[in-house]
Amino acid sequence: MEKAGANEAAVNCFLRAYDLLEKGTDFNLSEEDISPAETIPHMEEVLIKDEKKHAQYLSETVVIKLNGGLGTGMGLEKAKSLLEVKEGQTFLDLIARQNAYLRKNTGEAVKFLLMNSYNTSEETNEFLKKYPEYAEKSEVEMLQNFSPKVLKSSLEPATWDTDPKLEWCPPGHGDIYTVLYGSGWLDKLLEQGVKYAFISNSDNLGATVQPSLLTYFVESNLPFLMEVTKRTPADSKGGHLCMRNSDGQLQLREIAQCEEGDLESFQDINKHKYFNTNNLWLRLDVLKETVEKHGGFLPLPIIINKKTLNPRESSTPEVYQLETAMGAAIDCFPGASAVCVPRSRFAPVKKTSDLLSLRSDAYEIHESGRVMLIPERNGEPPVVKLSDNFKLVEQMESLGNPSLKEAHSLSVEGNVKFKEGVVIKGNVSIVNGDKKLLEIPAGTYEDISLTPDSFNFAS
């Protein structure tokens, strides 16, 4: 790592993770040791509207977007944030619009940073040249760290002479804290009078700075605030908020930390009601004090991601990628809290089904650049499930764009295409077991299951 240019904080963080791997440390959170998080305040109950305080705190805030992903799971070979989301706009276009709107409407030059990876840095900075205020990468970029992949068979560093880049992996978005400290950005921000950070994923276009929520965070003297929202059936596998029984500390439990016997409880959205949106508010002075206690990083639970050395070749050696999750930091700050936010603050794209939903008429682009559910949805996104033949973006785009503004759920299995003018209402499933393409003609389909034998299904 040192030879490759990694800083001391990154090396220390990896050595801790490796030591825990070697010792077989168990980071599972048993259902017996936790309780559901119950008394979470709702955003509308805590907002503090005070224009004078808004201006002061915004001038002391940095907006940080995590922008290290390539979206390989959707067949992309470029930065995920350069994918067109809606109306010809990419994630980065909309993020730029959001920041411009914030600055214009508050009169404050809110600082903005991107955490890029070595995979996304070059093309992201090239793209941002269209926005003069972000054209100088030294003023807007932090580079994510990198870690060696570890051979499962021997726990030695993986080597691959034909493509040495494959020997390395990103250490997960929990790396943000190590990057801030090890890069010098944390000290630089504090020297500039920046005290607070709002951190979110670049693929979540609902995550924008809400001045009244920032003021609540500051006035409550919280070290760390996690935005959570109510889980729906679409979120049953996402990390949920819980409380440690021994001391009442809030924790984030990811599915990778769930024992097999607890899976049913983990996915019970009526029991564990809140999931992490990865929209986080952070006091930078408290972060500095905490990371310095641990050698430049936070002692987060390790997620052991099992892969093959070349992800595209299953015959290559099995490796471990040692990662951490950003939201798990809630356990590192005594007094950390959470707030339940509307679903409008959570509109990510992890799969092509998310993209199909986001591009549909169930969502709209607000003048602020936020992509939001239309008001008629009452905060409930349509639940979309697509079979594996639509796993890639280009495959999904061949499906067509049905209206989903009144859809509760849409499930598509097999070789299917929507013709223009298809409207989905309620719960609709389509199953085509034939190889021949099933074209769904224009019409309204409500609470119905469709197959190639369905000829009179349009209303």
Sheet holding 150-151, edge to edge: 150-151, 318-323, 303-308
Give the per-residue pLDDT at 133: 85
Question: Is a pLDDT exceeding 90 seen at residue 404?
Answer: yes
- Mean pLDDT throughout 20-44? 93
Grade residue 457 by pLDDT with cuts at 50, 70 and 90. very low
Q: What pLDDT score was predicted for residue 459? A: 40
DSSP E strands in 141-204: the ranges are 141-143, 147-148, 150-151, 168-169, 196-201
pLDDT surpasses 80 at 340 = yes
Question: Is the model's pLDDT at 392 over the cut of 80?
Answer: yes
Tell me which of 350, 385, 391, 417 is the catalytic residue: 350
Are residues 147 and 14 in contact, defined by beta-carbon separation less than 8 angstroms? yes
Rounded to an integer, what distance in angstroms lies between the CA atom of residue 431 and that of residue 413?
5
What span, in angstroms and rounded, lies between the C-alpha atoms of 354 and 376? 19
The structure tokens listed for 4 are 């490759």
Q: Which of 98, 108, 100 is nearest to 52 (CA)?
A: 108
Instruction: Confirm whether 350 is a catalytic residue.
Output: yes
Domain positions in the chain are 8-345, 352-450
Which token pair is 73?
Answer: 């799971």
Average pLDDT on 68-75 reads 84
pLDDT at 376 over 50: yes
End-to-end CA distance of the chain: 63
CB 167 within 8 A of CB 307: no
Query: Cα(1)–Cα(198) distance, rounded to whole angstroms?
Result: 29
| CA distances for 286 relative to 175, 290, 291, 312, 394, angstroms | 17, 6, 9, 41, 45
Q: Mean pLDDT over residues 51-56, rounded? A: 92
pLDDT band at 219 (very low <50, low <70, confident <90, very high): very high
Q: CA-CA distance, 382 to 376, in Å (whole number)?
A: 12
Q: Which two tokens stand for residue 8?
A: 């001391």
* Residue of 281, 208, 279, 277 lying closest to 240 (CA atoms): 277
**Token pair belonging to 420:** 């223009």
Architecture of domain 352-450: 3 Solenoid (2.160)
**What average pLDDT does the segment 397-425 reach?**
96
**Residue located via tokens 């099995």:** 318
Q: Model confidence over 172-207: pLDDT tens digits?
A: 999 999 999 999 999 999 999 999 999 999 999 889
pLDDT of residue 206: 87
Q: Is the pLDDT of residue 104 over 80?
A: yes
Among 48-52, 133-137, 409-413, the range of highest mean pLDDT: 409-413
One of 1.10.3720.10, 3.90.550.10, 2.60.120.560, 3.20.20.70 is the CATH number of 8-345, namely 3.90.550.10
Per-residue pLDDT reduced to its tens digit, 243-286: 999 999 999 999 888 888 999 999 999 999 999 999 999 999 99
The three state secondary structure string of 31-70 is HHHEEECCCCCEHHHHCCCCHHHHHHHHCCEEEEEEECCC
**Percent of the chain beyond pLDDT 70?**
99
**Structure letter (DSSP) for residue 376:** G
Which is nearest to 81 in space by CA: 89, 72, 73, 90? 90
Least confident of 128-137, 361-370, 423-432: 128-137
Average pLDDT over residues 379-383: 88
Alpha-carbon distances, residue 357 vs 348, 389, 401, 427 (angstroms): 10, 17, 9, 14
User: How many angstroms separate the Cα of 347 from the Cα of each of 284, 292, 390?
Assistant: 26, 34, 20
Mean residue pLDDT of the chain comes to: 92
Residue 458 has pLDDT above 50, yes or no: no
| Sequential DSSP letters for 293-323 | HTTSS--PPPEEEEEESSTT-TTSPEEEEEE
**Both tokens assigned to 274:** 């809140």
CA dist 443 and 426 (Å) reads: 14
Amino acid letter for position 393? V
Question: With b meaning 16 or more CB within 10 Å and e meaning fewer, what string describes 254-264?
Answer: beebbeeebee
As a whole-number percent, the residues of the chain with pLDDT over 90 amount to 77
